[in-house]
């Protein structure tokens, strides 16, 4: 209960609860779309999804400033690759929030002369670029972890034992590939924050890919991916040690 109260007391926590509800509704609508006996439920779920989306837009007002401040901090990182990836990701995230704020202002009637479709596409483009740079950071961190572990004598011995214990795998699979997969798995196992962040970003990537028409999926896939990434986001808020830093 304390964890839930702490979560709901944060604006980021409330946003992720709203987001999880929004995408859970979208997934449920897709699964029930052909059920004629559930038309009333589908209509209620559509209303809930719309309300959650509108509520999130309201909660995100001012997030562009937070992203700009974050980009200033990441520019100071000593690791230039991390600095570049995170700074570009934060700048695009700020632009995404600006587009989102403009769309919210239009929806409530504060701004009228706005091309909704154009701003929505720009929002998706910025979101997509932000996710690509975040995933690039994840891959870079994973490669660093794998390189570090590969140089560790104790881990080398452990990997040799693994390969010797599975000769049938070594015959069916290229030994180097098996070693790479083992090394990757062990890196994720020792640093779950990287694995969670990468999984979250991959799930989120399906949303702008679908909206931009780069990779057409369907509402069910988008709803499932959005729900999964939202749940991961909630877990990392409840357990800060699972948040990838910086």
Split at pLDDT 50, 70, 90, the class of 78 is very high
Query: What is the mean pLDDT of the segment spanning 223-228?
Result: 97
**116 class by beta-carbon count within 10 Å (0-12 exposed, 13-18 middle, 19+ buried):** exposed
Among residues 129, 105, 97, which one has the least CA distance to residue 208?
Answer: 129
Contact 101, 60 (CB under 8 A): yes
pLDDT tens-place string over residues 164-193: 766 555 554 556 777 788 889 989 999 999
pLDDT tens-place string over residues 95-148: 999 999 999 999 888 888 889 999 999 999 999 999 999 999 999 999 999 998
Residue 224 has pLDDT above 60, yes or no: yes
User: Structural domain boundaries of the chain?
Assistant: 2-133+196-242
Split at pLDDT 50, 70, 90, the class of 59 is confident
Distance CA 228, CA 94 (A): 23
What's the mean per-residue pLDDT of the chain? 89
């Amino acid at each position: 209960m304390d964890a839930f109260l702490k979560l709901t007391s944060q604006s980021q926590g409330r946003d992720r609860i709203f987001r999880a509800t929004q995408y859970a509704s979208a997934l449920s609508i897709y699964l029930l779309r052909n059920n004629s006996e559930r038309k009333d439920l589908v209509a209620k779920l559509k209303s809930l999804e719309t309300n959650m989306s509108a509520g999130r837009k309201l909660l995100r007002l001012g997030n562009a400033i937070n992203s700009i401040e974050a980009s200033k901090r990441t520019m100071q990182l000593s690791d230039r690759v991390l600095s570049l990836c995170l700074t570009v990701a934060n700048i695009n995230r700020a632009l995404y929030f600006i587009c989102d704020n403009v769309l919210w202002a239009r929806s409530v009637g504060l701004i009228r002369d706005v091309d909704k479709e154009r701003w929505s596409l720009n929002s998706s483009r910025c979101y997509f670029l932000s996710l690509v740079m975040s995933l690039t950071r994840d891959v870079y961190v994973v490669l660093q972890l794998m390189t570090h572990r590969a140089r560790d004598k104790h881990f080398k011995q452990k990997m040799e034992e693994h390969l010797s214990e599975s000769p049938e795998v070594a015959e069916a699979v290229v030994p180097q590939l098996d070693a790479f997969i083992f090394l990757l798995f062990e890196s994720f196992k020792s640093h779950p924050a990287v694995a969670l962040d990468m999984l979250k970003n991959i799930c989120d990537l399906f949303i702008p890919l679908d909206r931009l028409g780069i990779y057409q999926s369907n509402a069910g896939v988008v709803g499932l991916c959005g729900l999964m990434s939202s749940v991961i986001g909630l877990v990392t808020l409840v357990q800060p040690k699972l948040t990838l830093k910086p």
